[in-house]
Structure 1
């Protein structure tokens, strides 16, 4: 009896239709090809077959593989692939890269003589990341990469996924003939990605690629979902591994049932059956044992484990080395990492050669396509099975040997070194290389990766407390958006502060950074606590110290009166005047000071705002310019200077868009929601508010969008329990975070809802804390929404004296301030007081003034409410009215006529309410009055009667 000489690699079977779809897409560049399926289903094989067909006549491919652990180096998998495409700086120098490519220097230190100078760093995380991605995209294009293949994208880091999203979004551009000595424009780039859908998390950026089909002209698209092989394909695959001899239907069905038709499981089982002699060759024919006697392992892991156990000890060490390294390696490297004798010799030791040969013959290892003599596992699942079967102590030793070997290589692969030292259990060395990886991420503009790495270090229990402060100083706090694990980071920083091993300055740095993280997320109350505690240790020697003081000058933070905030601002100004500050640092402090003064209701803030200018000469100054326009625009909106507010917010969107300041852009767009609500630009506003409420990561943006949506509902419906619960949630969350503007406005909206339901006592309770805050901080420009509903509630419960006193205090608080919105609210409070005293004639005239005041801003909804109140007082004054007509009798009033005209256009009451900025109840009452005057009982009859009467 002769055993088979070993099954060959299987043929590519059962995937003809999928291969055709992929190759057709790749030939129509640019293309986006997505290949998904479970582990072992044949994704990588499909990629290899497709490239074999397309590449000989087509574009150059670049293949990257994401490791099964989070790569510590920014864009690590694609960086490694790019290194293979351009190994030297001299080669890179001839690519004709723009100045933008200088961003890539930290990622490719070995290309230093071929890359442009590094650009100035950016403070904004979104802008920095976008610049890096644009630079890498340019590099891929100039390298002549026609197809970028990224395998196992479900393991990719965020930076890699964002690069892929950016590349997929690029549209083909017309190509102009190149000028002499100018490199030709990059070719259109196709993407081919493989992934396991079951391992894609719900918040992964990969879903943005896999859930949408590109809409750009000329973009080809193919999405292939690989499933199990059919029984006939199973028979063909097994036959291809057994000298192409026919496999019986019974045997094929048996294997298909046991392996679920997964190609990798089939392949490993056939190899194992050969090793066991379950399949043998006798007299030139294959002979198989009785099917019932063959034990088929239930998983790939079991099959691989059994096969490995049949190999010698040295071959098993080579397999462990390949599994530990993860990347293709030569024989000498495998021997060294495996700890084989003689591996250090310059001449390949026989024991190493024999062990590698045995591992290759097993079929578990193959020579990789990345280069001759480079060896790797045929399948990642087999590598994992080998790795898991080895005792932890042996794995740690192999990782230690791998790290020692990689430390001698140039350039050093920092991400891999951090991984190996961590798996080796050497915390100090892991921290060393992880910090280096964070430095690379910071230098290249990948703030998110830097935050993630620094977060790992800071939360490492074995890291000494005194080592934390230097790491904290490096953290780019602007990157703490929805991506960051904020709760863990905050907890880690607080845990460090609880130790007694920090010096005063280090403690101030850690606490100050904690305050900055909380502040950037809108947790102003918590930020104030930390910054105030940090102040005693501040040495007044750095920009960070002055920044903390200006933040404490903002009325959003701390429970202090305005005088305390002003003292903080003065202290910061005195320090800044004599300090050596960079231009953007000085501008940052000026923006903070102007913002604080305006929020405190100080007219001097407007003069300072005019001094800020429009300098965008550096990226850092551009950030401050955008921030200034946003902050001053928001303050102008609060003061009621709506024309200036819109102009500044529009400029902020423009600057943020040009400078890729994504966080500033989103915050400005959400602020514009509120301005549109106030000024009556309600068309499509509800949909926009809903969008940002569901997508904004920063709490202050999400809450503001929710509030705009709630106030629209309050203005156009009668309100319900669901709306009341929403307003309560917004109010409580805003109050907890110290977001004063949203807290005051949501409380006022909630109080107005309760007042309209006849519950004046609850309306008073809802405005109690708001009034205490406004009066305690003397911030009367913030009283616009609160004051009218407060006075109305006081009057409704008979506390008219208290209402009059509140109005007087409001008037005094606004003295000397040009705040049109608050002044209009003051006029409304006076009208409410006159009406509460029963002085209806005077109240009607006062309400008329209120309507004109709101119209000048404009605030059409408030204007409409004022005119309704004026009509109410006119009706109440009948019988004592002196002068003017008493009413319209049987004729339609102008406001009733407006309603009837819209009824004739087919609008519902709710649509009319939105169009006219009135409440639905008011529209219903005016419609009912019109029907009564014409003696009809339906909307249709009313429309007919009005038409017959000749009214337009």
Structure 2
């Protein structure tokens, strides 16, 4: 068990707090603080109350989320704290005695209750006047009523009565969620502030990425929160401070996690279970929806991304005739929101909270319906189809869609998506041997280009032990793994051993053998005796003499760099003045990875000198140049 705490300081709300303080300093005043659940309304008001209020007496009450709230309950709760203002006061307006039966805590300071009138409306009016007269007598007063969206009609009417004609020494501050109000206005459409009354609406919005980073640093008590972690945390929590705090508390080691880079931060945050308070809150919202709306919400949770209403209805089995009403309930209950042209959840944790409520058998059924529905979408969302096929138990469809999605990601230059898909597919024991060969080679080729920050070295090692892998494919995978290892500190010896083993398996790929021998001949890759380097250089030279195009250029460049590194004489006459390269698509010298070449010769891809054989670094665009 860990002791939990919120941020020790207010973050990202300096302007809001200044506006609130300025408003309540000009009595009389009415301030409405609005914002969605968890955005920090209570924290802002608490900061106001903890500040220097001078002679102003703070009275605080809160509306409760209960079935039948007690009339005027929040205001009466606040008035219990009026004893300090009543101490020593001998004369009060007799009408304040109407409050004595309702406030036994301060009844001894109040006049005797007046006689009953017998008319409920008159009794209510007398009670309203009694509250206003009491506040006038003990002023200056700061009356705070929290969560007005849960208020009973009596409390709302009483506050509107006070705010419309407040005593000179009264400031009223209310907090509420606009989306949960029974009407469009916190105090009712009829409310109009008094002419001499200061009036302000303070709207709190979620924090931006910088605000999330600052809040994280305040909670964990140290700086150094990485940009990647802050961005992923903002993405997962929508910048809502309460959700940020709950997520950080759910991490096992928040102080260490906040320093994680982008990809590791994503994995850490995705592994966090939905905090209990968020899960319970979502369960309460779901329980208030009709069954047909719940089916729509669960379909949205299974799809996982914003989707059109028709797609949600198809997955959830909601008839077209009931779709509009079901969507209205889901939106009105603030479970679904309009997002990116479709309908989805406020943040991923809300989606996960709903997904966790679905029984496992029902999940499989919904994922199966999702596959059927998404197959009609054009262009087909291959990544989504692969995921839903896997979760629906459609193994053959999962393998087909997964490989197609990886191929599309490679074509689009999305190395991160391609790497993730290929690693998941290669872990499947049911993957046929021909697909294992293709995917393992594709993963190695993508990995060694350096375009994805994830390191699949261990995945490639597991693939090499897979008996389904052919000898030719194993040689290529081992070659690509060696190219990864050669760039890692402390792994040069292992990399050289992998290159040597790969050479024996690459009988069908002399170009890769040439690259491997070129790497092994480099004097700066490990501590290798000169005679051994010379042996590898001679072997590489035998391939260089027959190679053409870019492969020949890369072999010549590596040989020249190696000789210069050793202080040996070189013959520049052996180097060609020009060399032909492939047109529409080329193979990087020494890399074996195909890259699109710039259109119309407007630019060329350029790699750092000496890096061709190892494939280190990423390509960059430069102005045209000759070799």
State the TM-score, normalized to the length of structure 2.
Answer: 0.48
**Bigger proportion of residues as helix:** 1
TM value normalised by structure 1 = 0.33
